[in-house]
Homo-oligomer: A and B are copies of this chain.
Amino acid sequence: MDVFAALASPVRRELTALLLDGPRPVNDLAAHFTMSRPSVSEHLKVLRDAGLVTEQRHGRQRIYRLEPAPLRELSEWLTPYERFWREKLASLRELLDEEDGTA
Contacts and interface: CB of A to CB of B under 8 A. Distances in A.
A17 B68 CA distance: 24
A20 B69 contact: no
A74 B3 CA distance: 13
A78 B80 contact: no
Copies in the complex: 2
Interface of A: 2, 4-5, 7-8, 13, 16-17, 20, 66, 68-69, 71-72, 74-75, 77-78, 80-82, 84-85, 88
Contacts of A68: 81, 84-85, 88
Nearest to A71: B81
Nearest to A8: B8
A81 B68 CA distance: 7
